[in-house]
Structure 1
Amino acid sequence: MSRTVLVTGAAGFIGAALSQRLLARGERVVGLDNLNSYYDPALKQARLRQVEATASKGAWRFEPISLEDGDALTALFAEERPDVVVNLAAQAGVRYSLENPAAYIQSNLVGFGHILEGCRHHDVGHLVYASSSSVYGGNRNLPFHERQPVNHPVSLYAASKKANELMAHTYSHLYGVPATGLRFFTVYGPWGRPDMAPMLFARAILAGEPIKVFNHGRMQRDFTYIDDIVEGVLRCCDKPATANPDFDPLQPDPATAAAPHRVFNIGNSQPTELLSFIEVMEQALGRDAIKDFQPMQPGDVVATAADTKALEDWVGFRPSTAIEAGVAQFAEWYRYFYGV
C-alpha cells in the first residue's frame, strides 16, 4: 500500500465512492464520519458496507468522529500520520442552512479549522478539500471560471465554502501546506444524497406524488456524474498544489497563489434545464412526473455551469458523462436499492 489517505465524510455520497476507488488501487484509507441524522444513517451504513467489501485486510479503518471533536481528530492525525487528507465532511445543503445555521458554523468552519491544524502539525503532504459551485452565488456570468470573484454568496452554506478556501489559502501561505479546493457542481448518481433533486424526484415519481419544480422550472444545473467527480478528485490527490510562479500581486488570480494553493471547478460543462432533467428522469424510470411548480427558493441560484479548462490543464481530465447515461445508471440503482 503506497500511502495512507484520510477521507473525512467517508460514509457520504462522494466519500464512500472515493474510498472504494482508493482501496482498489492499493491505498490504505482511514475513513472518518460522524454518521449524523441530517439524512437516513441507514444509507450511510449501507455505503460503508460497500466500502468494507472492497478492502483487503488492514487497508481500511473507519472511525465515527465529528470534525468538531478537535481532541479526537488530533489523536487520529498523530496515530495515522496520513500522507494525503481529503476533506469531504461538511454540513451540506443550501436550504437547510436557513433552518440551522449553527450546524454549518460548527462543522464547516470550526471543524475545517481542526482539519487544517491536523495537516499543519503532522506534515500532511497534500490537503484536498471540497468546495462548491455555490460560492459563485449571485454571479450570472456563465460559465463560471475560477478567476471570477466569489464575493456574493446567497446562502450560509456558500459562505462557509468560500471561507474554507480562504482558510486553506492562509495555511498554505503561513505554513506551506499544499492545498487544493474543488468546487463540485451538482453531483448525482447511484448512492446519492436523499435531500438532492434526483433522489427526491425518483421517490416522488415512483410513488405517484408531485415533485416540486422551483422557479417554475426556469433553472439550469450543471449535473455532474459521481464517477467523473471521483476521477477528478483522485487525479488532484496525485498532483499536490504548487505556488504559481507567475502570480502577480498587482493583478491577483483568485484560482492560484504565491502559496501552494489552487482551486478548480469539477463540473460537466453541459448545463441542463430542470424540465429537461425531469424528462430524462421520467424516461429512465418509465413514469411521468406530476409537477408542482413553485417560486424560487431563498438561497437558491438560477443557473450553474462550469468552465473546467483549469482542471483539464492541471490533471488532464474533464468530466464528460452524458446526462442520459448518468440518470439511467442512477435509476437502475435506485430501483434495486429501494426495491421499487
Structure 2
Amino acid sequence: MSAAARRALVTGASGFVGAALTRRLLADGWEVHLLLREGSSTASLPPESGQLRLHRHDGSINQLIEIMRAAAPEAVFHLASLFLATHKPDDVERLITSNLLFSTQLVEAMAACGVRHLVNTGTSWEHYNGAGYNPVCLYAATKQAFGALLRYYVEAHGLRVVTLKLFDTYGAGDIRPKVLNLLKRLALEGGSLEMSPGEQLVDLVYIDDVIDAYLLAYQQLADGVQLNAVEEYGVSSGHPLPLRDIAALYAQVSGKPLHIVWGGRPYRAREVMVPWHHYNSVPGWRPRMDLPQGLALFHAS
C-alpha cells in the first residue's frame, strides 16, 4: 500500500451498503478503518489487513476519540443506523442511542481530533408526501434530528458535511428482509404471497450507483466545493415504479410466475405512496444501472 494512501473511517460497514462502500474504497487504494459496535458481524467484510483495520466501539466517547485519533482519517463515511419502519415503545431507546447518541459522539470525536470531512447518510423518508420535513416514522425523525445537530458542529467546529438521502437500495448479494427478497423467494420456491394493493411507487437504486454517489460526495468535500454548510442530496433513480410493475418485471427477469395476492394485506401506516422528488443530485452523478439488468444481477446472486 502506498504511503500516500488516503484514509477513511467507515461506520455501518456490517450493513449491505457499508460493506459495499468498504470494498470499493479498498479497491480504490484507500486505507480503511471500520468502526463497529461490539458484536457486529464481519461476515460480509474482507479480512483485516494492513489496508483494513477494525475498531470495536465500547459505547464511550473517550474510546471513540482514541479510535478517531489513531485512524486519523481524511474522511468519515457515516452509514451506521438502526432502521425500523415502525417502532414499539421498547424501541425508542435503541433508536435514540443508535441514530442520535452514537452519531453525535462520532462528530464530537471528529471535532476533538481535527477531522473535518463527513459524508453522512440520511433518508428520503424525512419527506413524507414530499414535504420539506415530515418524517414517515421515528427512524426518519431521528435522522433529521441528527441533521440539525450537525449544523452546530459545522458552525462551531468547522466540519464540512455532505448528507446523502437514500431511497431504496438493492444489488447482488443483498439479503436484507426487503420486498425484493420476498419476490426472489417466491420465484425460487413458488407458493403465493399476500401483499398490499401495490400502487405505491418504489425508487430502486443499484448498489454500485449508490457507492458512486458516496465517492463523488467525498470528492466535493476534498475539492473544497462545499463550505460552511450541510449540503444535502437525494440518491434516486429518478424513475420510481409502482410495486406491481416491479413485481411484473421481476417475474419477467426471473422467468418464473409470481403468484401475488394484491390487496391481501393493507398498506402500512403512513405508507410512502409517492417518493420525495424535491431534491438535488450529487453534482456529476447519475444512475447507470437500469432496473432490468439490476434485477437480473440481484436474482442471480
2:215 partner amino acid: L
Per the alignment, residue 86 of structure 1 pairs with 77
Change in CA separation of 1:323 and 1:243 when aligned onto 2, cut-off 3 Å: closer
Among 254, 268, 271, which residue is 1:285 paired with? Answer: 254
Q: Distance in 2 between matches of 1:64 and 1:281?
A: 39
Contact 1:285 1:331 in 2 (8 A): yes
Per the alignment, residue 275 of structure 1 pairs with 244
Per the alignment, residue 330 of structure 1 pairs with 298
Contact 2:81 2:98 in 1 (8 A): yes
1:229 partner amino acid: V
Q: CA deviation at 1:243?
A: 8.3
Per the alignment, residue 289 of structure 2 pairs with 321
Change in CA separation of 1:270 and 1:47 when aligned onto 2, cut-off 3 Å: same
Alignment of 1:42-57 (within 5 A): 44-48=41-45, 51-52=46-47, 57=49
Q: CA deviation at 1:198?
A: 1.2
1:24 partner amino acid: A
Change in CA separation of 1:14 and 1:98 when aligned onto 2, cut-off 3 Å: farther
Alignment of 1:35-184 (within 5 A): 44-48=41-45, 51-52=46-47, 57-65=49-57, 68-96=59-87, 100-139=91-130, 149-150=132-133, 152-184=134-166
TM-score (norm 2): 0.89
Among 266, 269, 291, which residue is 1:298 paired with? Answer: 269
2:44 partner amino acid: R
> Larger deviation: 115-124 or 296-305?
296-305
1:27 partner amino acid: W
Q: CA deviation at 1:158?
A: 0.9
Unaligned runs of 5+ in 2: none
SS in 1 for 2:44: helix
Matched, 1:19 2:10: no
Per the alignment, residue 228 of structure 1 pairs with 209
Q: Distance in 2 between matches of 1:59 and 1:107?
A: 27
SS in 2 for 1:319: coil
Tell me how many residue pairs correspond in the alignment: 295
Contact 1:126 1:177 in 2 (8 A): yes
SS in 1 for 2:77: strand
TM-score (norm 1): 0.80
Q: Distance in 2 between matches of 1:302 and 1:98?
A: 26
Per the alignment, residue 230 of structure 2 pairs with 261
Q: CA deviation at 1:63?
A: 2.6
Contact 1:222 1:305 in 2 (8 A): no
**Aligned alpha-carbon RMSD (Å):** 2.4
